[in-house]
A and B are shown apart, each in its own frame.
Chain A
C-alpha cells in the first residue's frame, strides 16, 4: 500500500511540474508583448523596455521559468495586468462563491443521478430505462450557457419565481449584510443567524445550481447505469441470484458496493468539470466567482490572471485524481496488489 501511494504521489508531482511548464510556455507564446501590456497602450518605448527588465522578460526562458516557479512556491503568482492586484489574493477572494455553487449543484446532481442510474440498469431495456437514458444523455448534451438563459426566461421572466442574477439582492446586502466567516453565503448567514440573508442567498443559488447540476446529473446517471450493468453481468451476481438471494440485497450489498469506485471517480472528475462549467454559468448569472474573474481576464488578455486560474483548476484536478486513486486503492485490494 505504502509503495503504491509513494508511486502515485511521485506521478502527481511529475504531472504538476508538466502542468506548470505547459502553462508557462502558453503565456510566453502570447502574440502580444507582455511588457507592452503591462505598461498600457500609450507607453513610451523606454517604459516598455524597463517593464521588460522589471518582469524579467529579458532573461533566457529557463531562468524565467526558474524564477516563476520560485515565486509561485512562495505564494507570489504575479500581479493582474487589469487590476494590478496580486493574482493569488484575487483568486482566493473569488473562489468561495464558485465552490459554494459547485457543491450545491453536485449535491442536486448526485442525489438524483445515482438512483436514476440504478433504476435504469435494473430495468434495463424497458421504458423506464429508455426514458432515463434519454434524460441522462440530454443532460450531457445541453449547452450550459443556453440552459442558463432558458431558465432565466422561464423562472424569472415568465413565472417570476427566482431572481435573474447575482448572489444576494441589493436590499439584503444593505440591510443585513453577511459577515464573512467561510465565504460561503449559505453557511455564513446560518452560523451568524442572519436568516433574511440565508433566504436571499438560497433564492439566488437555485437557478445557477440547477444549471450546473444538469451535466453531472446526466454523467453520474450514465456512469452508474454502465457500471451497474457491467456488474449485474458478472458471475458472482448470477451465483447470488442462483442461491436465491433477494434482489434488493443483491443490488444493495453486492452490486452497489462494487459500483462505488467508478462513481467516485466520476464525482471527482465532474467536480473539476464543474469548476470549468462555472466559467459559462457565472458569466450568464453574474455570479461573482472564479469563472466571472476568468472571463474578465480572458476578455482583457490578462495573462497572469489566466495563468493563475488555469494553474489553480489544473492543480485541483490533479489533486482530486490523486485522492480518488488512493481512496480506490483502500477500497479495492486488486489495485494496490497490481502495483506491488
Chain B
C-alpha cells in the first residue's frame, strides 16, 4: 500500500499539470477557509452601497464593484465557500444513495441486480444537467434544492461503478470464508465487500468535483440555484448580464473563478486517472 502511494506520488511530481491542479485546489480550500479574514469587505456578501456602484477595478476594489456597489473581489472569495460546500454535499449525498445500491446490486445479482440496474439506466438516460434542471425547477429554486437535484442526477454513476467492483470482489476468498462461517448478509455486504471496492469510487468522486461545481453554477445562472444576495459565482454572472456590455468586470471575474476551480479539479482528475491506469503509462515510451 505504502509502495503504491509513493509510486503515485512520484507520478504526480513528474506531471507538471497535476502539480499545478493540486496546488490550485489546495489554494482554493485555503481561500474558502480563510475567507472572512482575507476578503477586504466581508460584509459585502449581503449589504449594498448604491453610491459605490459600477466602480471599475482599482486598488480599493481589485475586481471592481457590482450594480449594488458590492466589492466583487470579496464576493468571489466568499463564493469559493459555496462552490466547495455544494461539491462536498452534493457528491456526498450522491454517494450515500449510489453506493449501497451498487454494492447490493453487485453482490446479490439476479432479479435485485436487474431491477436496480434498470432504474440506474433510466436515470443515466437523462443528461445530468437536464435532470438537475427539471428537478430543481419542480422542487423550487434555491441552493439546497439545487444540491439535492445534482445528487439525484449524479448517484447512478456511483451505483454502476460500485456494482462492477462488487461483482469482482464477491468472488474473492475472504468473502467465501465469511459466508462459510455464517456471517449475515448485511455484514458481508458492508464489512467485507464495500470496503474492498471503495477505492475507485472515491477516485471517481474526487474527479467529479469540477463537474458538480459547473452544474451548480449553470443552475444558478438559469435562476434555478442560489438566490440573491448569495455570492454564488453562477448567480453573480447571471445578475451581471444586464450590465456586462458596459461594465465588463461584473461577469468576467466570477466566471474566471468558476473556470479556474473547475479546471484545477479536472487537472487533478486527469492526473489521477493516468496514475491509476497502468495501460496509459505503458504507452509512455
Contact = CB atoms under 8 A, between A and B. Distances in A.
A27 B127 contact: no
For chain B, give the interface size range.
Answer: 35 or more
Q: Is the interface of B mostly helix, strand, loop or mixed?
A: helix
Given A125-B284, A141-B263, A298-B222, A15 B130 contact: no
B135 A26 contact: yes
Nearest to B233: A143
Nearest to A130: B17
Contact of A318 (B125, B221, B280, B285): B125
Contacts of A155: none
23 contacts: A18-B125, A30-B138, A124-B283, A134-B17, A140-B266, A141-B263, A141-B266, A143-B221, A145-B238, A146-B258, A146-B259, A150-B251, A233-B280, A273-B127, A276-B130, A277-B129, A279-B130, A280-B221, A283-B222, A298-B137, A298-B223, A299-B223, A314-B130
A55 to B, nearest CB: 17
A26 B127 CA distance: 16
Given A133-B17, A145-B218, A306-B134, A226 B280 contact: yes
Nearest to B128: A276
A272 B127 contact: yes
Contacts of B241: 149, 284
A298 to B, nearest CB: 5
Given A143-B258, A226-B280, A276-B130, A26 B17 contact: no
A11 B135 CA distance: 25
Q: Is the interface of A mostly helix, strand, loop or mixed?
A: helix
Contacts of B129: 273, 276-277, 279
B16 interface: yes
A38 interface: no
B243 to A, nearest CB: 11
A107 interface: no
B283 A301 contact: no
Contacts of B11: none
B130 A313 contact: yes
A298 B118 contact: no
B255 A153 contact: no
B282 interface: yes
A317 B244 contact: no
Nearest to B265: A141
B122 A233 contact: no
Given A22-B123, A141-B266, 10 more contacts: A18-B118, A26-B138, A124-B284, A146-B251, A149-B244, A273-B129, A276-B129, A279-B130, A298-B133, A310-B134
